[in-house]
Structure 1
């Protein structure tokens, strides 16, 4: 007998969202070329943005950056820049104004290490606002962002600007630590954190490396989240080796799991890889067994590919 229990409004919304996401996936994967990643490999936030037809087109046009798939930051940045340029607006002025509005709407606490005077930028009068409907909807209190990911992008570039301004300093590391603590309990701040890491890596890779290599970078929050973003800097042998050395600290379980989610340690650690695997198992035991099994499978699967590339 069929279940006649009516679906709740929340269930209907979830089903509709899943259907729209599946439609976006089919369009993306049908049109994609070897220059584009599969839809399933896009960050979840970018997948949601791609359910809007205009953004799907703009995201798809981003392609690759420097012969590698674009990061979430680069994809969203491409969309924002394209819309601002098409609107004929002063891009720099509008980015400052929209970043200011995003900070005020987000509820994110700017890291105190960035300075109290920088906690809430002065808004002043809004500049003349062209039609930016794909990005924001005009309202009396200020522009309302059309999508959460767009708001997160503008918050992220503001925070990234402040961290880059601090340079290689304790304040820069503490700022990312503070943001990571918020990201653990907030999906929105997690999205902002990932965009901040991408933005710093895009604009100042040496600073991104310095933060990741700093002994002050939190092994329980900051480093695991940075590794999950998987920017070029975070995949570099130097950063992977540094993180691997810190895995034997008692509070480094999440860092260890983040490293084990990728086959990168094998190549980065070289002859010491086997010793690192055994030492990790001795340190965390059953807590990482499943992660380790999955990691070893990934590593073994990657070896034939590496061998084939060497032969060719």
Structure 2
């Protein structure tokens, strides 16, 4: 092992800053998990506060809000995976067929630009478009049609969350698939054309198999975030009228942790969410590895 480190010392030096970053900001703070098992009293500190064991977990699981929070979180997350996961793939496939370089770069830039906008800015754009006096409702009113309550109707609001979340990120997600598409041998397409294969057959028999490992890898990674339903987006756009369909575990943790200062319960709920995400990504990676696809580890 020491010989291998010395042989590749410059590579290890390159990854050292990243290692230190994750050590300091991801692994060292994990010591704070102990808060989930204590009744935190600020004047006593973390270590001197009384131990309560699994009391915070029992409180959360027996809460009347548990079913609603889990239902909303899973519904929003699974809907984003179901509808949002294929869109970057389809967009990358379509963009890969464009032969006009300037147009292709312009479309790619426009679609992935929203990724770099914070939800504060993007949420303001959405509100100006879909709010009660937004552009969409003003147009509907001018056409003599009934206005749509995007921001106050609980069922419509959930769909709006899913759609706007996908619109913000699909262009950025397509970059990974475009990079994978660039690695496919062009002679395969030439041979397919000689054999009389059309575009759809080329995509089905060459393109999709060529990026299959990337698709599987991204799907496994998406499983880790199945308990993340977009807290920042919901905090920016939601209001009390739509909490029934938009209140998720992360917003619950925000309220009880920062607003009500119940740090023990908030940490316990966050730990529960993290454990579920870890189990899902480990199981997903195990299944992928056993099917012969490229796994994360």
With the shorter chain as reference, the TM-score category is: under 0.3
Higher relative contact order (CA 8 A, sep 6+): 2
Greater fraction of residues in helix = 2
Which TM-score applies when normalising by structure 1?
Answer: 0.20
> Between Structure 1 and Structure 2, whose CA radius of gyration is higher?
2
